[in-house]
Structure 1
Amino acid sequence: MSDEAGGPGLPAWSGAFTGQGPGRVTGLPLPEPRRDWAWAGGDGTGVKVAIIDSGVDADHPAVGGVAGAVAIEPAPDAEEGYRVVEGPHEDLYGHGTACAAIVRALAPGVELWSVRVLGSNLKGKTSAFYGGIQWAIANGMHVANMSLSSKSDQWYAILHEAADEAYFANLMLVCAANNLPGPTYPSQFASVFSVAALPGDDPEALAYNTSPPVEFGARGIDLDVAWTNGTTINASGNSFATPHVAGMVARVLSKHPGLTPFQVKSVLHAVARNAD
């Protein structure tokens, strides 16, 4: 796989968006200006976004509340099973709050849902990741932000099946590539919106990568992000680029309800900064 190394100080896969960049692509001939056609006036209203992560601090001023919350926990009596625990919860780490706040900043009208699958060490069982996707499908989410991944080959086929199920259910899975080189899932799958970080200050920065498996690059380096207890921290990573893309997807869906994942991908491809 090309461009695995992100370069000095950059997450893996980000190298494709630095230097000479990923090269030019030819997008759909959308009406000009293309970004206005894509999302002008779309603030995320009517779009349900699941933050599949460590939980969300609903009281953080940058989050602006959540519509609901569930925790997906491994079932004690089944290695590959899980259970759903409904009800408000805290963010056990801060990571989910950061992602939720980024989505809210780009698409203030979205309906945010916290789907907690990670613990206080920012780790979780892959069965919970799978359960989070299944919950999002079953509960009519339009977008799922997954700034997490699994390296387990054991779960490759199961997560692939879940990603395909989401694709055909019109659930946009927006997934972070790992910050370290090597394959991780579900970010490797063609059915998801895979994302790596690129430098810059523009929250609407978007580039399309011509060297798979990562497709999209978005702002994710040296950011001030929301954290627990109403605080902020400075952070970098593919994790924080991903909710930028999730927010853009929500805006497209808000303006053009009913688009399928491949249609939304085509729109983002067309409005990418390296698209002709």
Structure 2
Amino acid sequence: MPATAGLLTCLLVAAGGPVAAAPPIGYAAAARCGPSVTDPLAAAPWPLTRLRPDLAWPLSTGVGVRVAVVDSGVSADHPTLDGKVLPGRDLVPPDDGGDDDGDGQCDENGHGTLIAGIIAGREAVSAGFRFYGVAPGAQVVPVRVLRDQRRSTESDLSGRIAEAIRWAVDQGDADVVNLSLTTPPTRQLQSAIEHALDRRVVVVAAAGNSGESGVEAGQPTYPAAYPGVIAVAGVNAQDAHVQSSTAGNFVDVAAPGERIAGPAAAGGGYLFTAEGGTSFATGYVSGLAALIRAYDPTLSPDQVAERITQTADHPDGLWNAQVGHGVVNPVRAVGALRPAGAGEAGAAVSVPRPADRPSPLRGVSAASGVIAVVGVALALLLLAAVPVVRRGRRRGWRTARK
């Protein structure tokens, strides 16, 4: 059986439409460079409420960092990505719909655009709900390697992905490389990963969507399992391991990977992932890596990875094969650093504390507290005065008279 590789499959539907086994009407008739979706958000994206990356923005928004998205391409048409997508590269062969002169901004599938939005989308409001990327100050470098999420039996696909990584590092000046895909391990691919790490580029990859089979078969997923790569698993809104997320001893951390919303390639609307996918979990971690790299550019890829894993919300036992060191915690990961030039990297600083919601009875509670304190003080004074008055009476004290 030939080796297969490709983008990690997850069902994409319009964010405002029903979750169904087939794409909504109009999706298949998409334009040349992406499905045109106008549907607004149907709810507040739960990963943003869970991770709260915006609490880290007073320290870093990812400004100055470039994140290469090696994927199906990234469209620059959506308002959240307008002006944020740099010219990239199209490595899809012309006989398969690619463009030798393409800049990677054609996304026929929508997969890469959604992930780019998760990583670096600027804040927008849709139907009253906020959407934003983890690192809205970062920029995206698209490198197109596949047209869609269907698995490919092309023997040179791993080589194409390896070429994409090298191009992103050498020509795209990437600081972080996002790999929301799986492919058979090859020496060429491993060499490209090592090249990126040697150039101090952080590499983040999806653990895969084969469920527990990775552990049972003893077969790790690549490129996630290569040394130095941050391997990302998926969790749901209850912080539970998504069953489709591949488990294994190579898993480093976890992030939201189920029921994810993000920008569509065309139409200005939002897509919604009805199923689990470590592709999208990888985007959240790449965004966090961008925040850290912007805050302290002196950190090596290993130091960035260590910061992410050390500050994650650890599971029982501190690590397991399903979620690694746990769900990433952006505010803790960034807040526990000192920026370059401020002393030893990694030394602790104060972490911004999430703002408490004001209680509707806050004023009453405060007043009650004051009254209680005053009452106790008066009571103590009265108790203290009793023996003094008694002693004075025994000594014949009288009140003063004019």
Please classify the TM superposition score into its range, dividing by the shorter chain length: 0.7 to 0.9
State the partner residue of 2:178.
145
AA of the residue aligned to 1:267: R
Distance 2:168 2:298 in 1: 17
139, 148, 151: which one aligns with 1:120? 148
AA of the residue aligned to 1:71: D
User: Secondary structure at 2:181's aligned position in 1?
Assistant: coil
Count of residues paired in the alignment: 228
State the partner residue of 1:55.
73
State the partner residue of 1:73.
92
Distance 1:117 1:111 in 2: 19
Map 1:194-213 to 2 at 5 A. 194-200=231-237, 212-213=249-250
238, 259, 263: which one aligns with 2:299? 259
AA of the residue aligned to 1:274: H
Change (3 A) 1:99 1:93: same
Structure 1: gaps (5+ residues): 1-9, 11-34, 77-81, 203-209
State the partner residue of 1:25.
none
AA of the residue aligned to 1:129: I
113, 124, 133: which one aligns with 1:97? 113
Show CA shifts across 1:24-65 (max 9, x none). Answer: xxxxxxxxxxx99x8751111110111110011101123233
Deviation at 1:224, TM superposition (A): 1.6
Cα RMSD (Å) = 3.0
Deviation at 1:168, TM superposition (A): 1.0
User: Secondary structure at 1:112's aligned position in 2?
Assistant: strand
CA contact (8 A) 1:134 1:162 kept: yes
Change (3 A) 1:83 1:63: closer
Distance 1:267 1:216 in 2: 11
User: Secondary structure at 1:218's aligned position in 2?
Assistant: strand
Change (3 A) 1:40 1:215: farther
AA of the residue aligned to 2:195: E
Q: TM-score, normalised by structure 1?
A: 0.74
Name the % identity: 33
State the partner residue of 2:244.
none
CA contact (8 A) 1:144 1:173 kept: yes
Change (3 A) 1:174 1:39: farther
Change (3 A) 1:253 1:84: farther
Distance 2:264 2:200 in 1: 30
Distance 1:172 1:244 in 2: 14
202, 207, 219: which one aligns with 2:256? 219
Distance 1:264 1:121 in 2: 29
CA contact (8 A) 1:159 1:185 kept: no
CA contact (8 A) 1:72 1:85 kept: no
Change (3 A) 1:62 1:48: same
Change (3 A) 1:126 1:223: same
Change (3 A) 1:265 1:228: same
Higher relative contact order (CA 8 A, sep 6+): 1
State the partner residue of 1:161.
191
User: Secondary structure at 1:228's aligned position in 2?
Assistant: coil
AA of the residue aligned to 2:269: T
Higher-strand-fraction structure: 1
AA of the residue aligned to 2:106: E
Bigger radius of gyration among the two = 2
Deviation at 1:228, TM superposition (A): 2.6
Structure 2: gaps (5+ residues): 1-9, 11-52, 121-132, 215-219, 240-246, 319-402
Distance 2:255 2:112 in 1: 18
Deviation at 1:163, TM superposition (A): 1.1
State the partner residue of 1:79.
none
User: Secondary structure at 2:281's aligned position in 1?
Assistant: helix
State the partner residue of 1:234.
272
User: Secondary structure at 1:131's aligned position in 2?
Assistant: helix
State the partner residue of 2:63.
45
**Superposed structure 1 runs of 4+ greater than 6 Å apart:** none
User: Secondary structure at 1:68's aligned position in 2?
Assistant: coil
Q: TM-score, normalised by structure 2?
A: 0.52
